[in-house]
Structure formats: structure tokens, C-alpha cells
Chains A and B, each alone.
Chain A
Amino acid sequence: MRIDLRTAALTDPEDQKVRLAANLLGAVRIEAKLSPWDGTRCDVVVVNADDAYGRRVMELAQKRGIGLVAYAAQPIHFALSTQRHVAEGTAASLVSALRGVIDAARKPDSPARPGTSAPAPLPGHTSDVSALLELTHDSWRGRDIDADIAGRRISIRASRGRVTAATLSDMLAARDALGERAETHAFTAVAERHPGIGEISWSLDAFLVDGALRCRHQLPAFAGSTYALRDFPDLGSTRETLTPLRIANWLQQRPGCVKERAAKAGISADEVNACLWAFRASNLLVIDEPPAAATPPAAQAARVARPLLSKLAARFGLAW
């Protein structure tokens, strides 16, 4: 998880402690980008509340709902858990305060961040399965959500078929952790078309397929026996290129029992299983019912002579 940490009006010793604390947060997988307060949006600001400028920044942070840690000689009582007072102390105590503020800001009952609409958490829903399986749940599938996967924040925008993250490392880490157990409050539903986190934007289908294939040995057997696809998945940028493409093609052209067909083609059952989970999580897979969309017209095999087609396919890594 990456946070934007700002400082305002700190003394030199306080500034050094904040720098040390920012580094120590790395131990709990929080990457803090530290810079001076400039009045723009950030996650947490650390201020010296004994300084006039520091108090001004503190007031602005409170007004905007920004996470706040305030150094002050006299205790300050804040009403919100995203705002804390610290007295002079060790960097470790500052880390503890920062973690408290960050954790409180991530909880759904915390005030919304500035510039975003309030999230709409689903009540009473907790997770005890992997993030990928959780994403196939009716509560989340096909919805726009912000997710916290292994401490990395991503925005799944099913309404646009995209996933965004603040950094490439967040995206990669979240993808690689799709097989890990999802934390409570890991997912938050947001309004459709709500802007996503960060500027790194990937294909949602490719993200889920790659993540599912990475954890394919941990996935339970996918339910149902016949499947179809509503739309062909966006597999242009998948790392594993062939298997998901073939499975999607079978499902799109001839809905039915893909598992038997894959076995004949030498594709392992767990790869098929992983693709089914991924296609389900991306809201493309229909189970045990005919597809809603028309399948594409069957291509004419006579368009190219069969021996030539086989050679052509082999040239591009296919074999039939």
C-alpha cells in the first residue's frame, strides 16, 4: 500500500523522526511518499500544532478529512480516529500513531477522503476466502469496487472493464496476491464510473486471468458443468497467452463442457479451472444457461487451405 505523507511546520528533530517513521512503515508494507505540505490532496499530514502555520494546516486537514498526526506539548483531543496527537517520543511511537490513522482511514466507517464520494460498504459481509473467489461473489461481481489486496489498493472498475492502481508495484502485488485470503473490509463498493485510484490502468480480464493462473493450484473446483461467455475476454495483454485464449474461444463459439475439450487438447484441469474462476470474477461467464449474446458467425474453413492454415497457426504458436 502506498500513502502520500506530508509534513508541516515540524522542528528538525520531529522532521527526522517522521523520515525514520516513513521508512519503518515499509516493514508493514506501507510505502510512504514523504513531502512537505503544499495544500494539495494527501493521505496523512504530520503537523507541529504548537506552530501557527502548523495549526493552520491542522485546521485544513480536519476540514478536508485528511488523516492527521499532530505534535503538540499539550494533549489535543480529536473526535475522529483518523486524527491523533503525539507528544515528543520515539520514532516507534510515531509509527504506531501513523498506523492507527492509516488503518482508521481504510475502514469503511471512516469519513470519506477529500475529492471522493463516500463508499458504500456492504453490511455484515466478511471474507474467509481468497480475494479472487471473493470477487466472484454476487456482492462484488460486475460492480465497481475499491479493493485492498495484500495491503495494496486497487480500483476494480467492472463497468469499464479496467483495473487501476497508484503504482505498477501495487498492481503487480495485488495481481500476485489474488490467491491469498481476503481481509475483512478488503472490498468497498463505489458508485459506477467513480474515478479509480492512480494512473496505472490495466485490462481487468487480463489482470484476473493472470492472477488466477498464478494461484491455480489453490483454487477449488469450479461449479457447474456447462458454461458460456457473454463477451470474449480482453486477453490482449495477458502474460499467459495461449491457454486462456483457447478456453475463451471454445466457450464463445461452442458453449458446453470445456473441461473435456481441454483435456483432449492437453490443457491441465487446474488451468481450465483458473480461467473459469477468472472469467466468472470478470462477470463474463454464464453457468449452466445459454449465453445472452449471440455467438460470432462461424468462420469459413475454406477461406484458406487447411494445410496452409495449420502451418500458419504453428507459426503463431498454435497447433491443431
Chain B
Amino acid sequence: MLDQTCIDAASSTKLVFVGPVGAGKTTAITSIADSPPVSTDMPLSGPTRGDKTSTTVALDFATVRIEGGHSVFLYGCPGQDHFEFMRPILLRGALGAVIVLDGSDPDVVTHCGYWARTVADFDAALPMVIGITRTEEVPEFDLITVRKAMRAQGITPPVFTFDARNPQQTTQLVRALLLMLE
């Protein structure tokens, strides 16, 4: 799936944030981008989660400027299944994927397996990191079960709990991803 020609000539690259609706993808992108992301938010048509009243329908897009006038493009995939067709479009040519999950969701383990499998099915060698938000709100949150579920699928990415609003913690996920390319 990797377009080698494009990569060799590239003066920019991209990171893709994937995960279910309301997990915190847009918030994570906003926390590390140089400017607020261009979002394609629309009112939620399905059940709402917390205060969330809108959701990304096509993509989130933001940039991070790096030395030499280059840029890192940050893309956020829509979480709803009926926008599934957007995922391979956005993942193509990415240097890695950050899977963002909601730790307060009782189905977090199922979501984790689903999204990790989605990324791995697209490109088994695509580096990925899993970031789980809102774990501090749920004393019974179970990281070990998430790890076991990943191991059972033969996928062992770093799994971090983090606050998507915190630039340092979101950066930590990106660093882990970059270290996999070192």
C-alpha cells in the first residue's frame, strides 16, 4: 500500500489519528497542532456521548511546522462506520497511526481490537500507538485486559493512557511512534 515514489520525494509527511466517535481524536490533534484544525464537523445523527453534539464526517486536518519549511500533516479519521471509506484514503502514505480510544467506554477493549485490526489490515507494518483517554474518570479501567486483547490478536503496539487536551501527553504518543521508526 505504501507509495514509495511519493515518500522519497516528499517534503512533508502525515500522521493519522483513528478511533471511535467521541474518543478525543480532534482534541488530540488540536493539542499538538500549530493552529486549530480544519474540521468537517456536523451535528451527531446517532446517540450522543457526554457533551459531544457534533462529529467529524470527512476528516480533521492540521499541520505542524518543522525545520526547513517542511510540515507534518495531522489527519483525523471520522469514527462512524458509514465513513469507513475515508480510512484507507487517509492512511495511505502515513508514517504511522495513533489510535485514540475512550477509556470510560465499557466497550473499550472491543474498540481497541477493532481499530488495531483496521490499521493492521490496511498495512501490517504501519507503526501504531494506542492512546486511551478519560481513564482517570473510571477507577475500574483495566489496562491489562487491553494489553491481553492486543496480544491475542498478535498486535503489540505501545498502549498509553493520556489526556488528549494535554500537549505533552499527546506528544508522548507521537514520540513513541517516531521511536518505532528510529
Contact = CB atoms under 8 A, between A and B. Distances in A.
Contact of A161 (B72, B139, B144, B158): B144
A56 to B, nearest CB: 33
Nearest to A303: B95
A251 B157 CA distance: 14
B49 interface: no
A143 to B, nearest CB: 13
A238 B172 contact: yes
A254 to B, nearest CB: 11
A235 B172 CA distance: 8
A241 B96 CA distance: 20
Interface string B166-182: 00110111111011111
A200 B65 CA distance: 37
Nearest to A231: B147
Contacts, number: 163
B176 A249 contact: yes
Given A300-B125, A305-B10, A295 B156 contact: yes
Interface string B103-145: 0000000000000000000001111000100011011111111
A162 interface: yes
A314 interface: yes
Given A160-B144, A245-B179, A317-B171, A299 B127 contact: yes
Interface string A253-270: 100000000000000000
A300 B2 contact: yes
Contact of A162 (B4, B124, B141): B141
Interface in B7-56: 7-8, 10-13
Interface residues of A, number: 54
A293 B181 CA distance: 20
A197 B178 CA distance: 37
Contacts of B125: 297, 299-300
Nearest to B103: A201
B141 A201 contact: yes
B163 interface: yes
B149 to A, nearest CB: 12
A314 B180 contact: no
A296 B157 contact: yes
A314 B70 CA distance: 12
**What are the 10 A-B residue pairs with the smallest beta carbon separation, nearest first?**
A236-B160, A161-B143, A236-B162, A232-B158, A249-B179, A315-B66, A160-B142, A299-B127, A299-B180, A311-B67
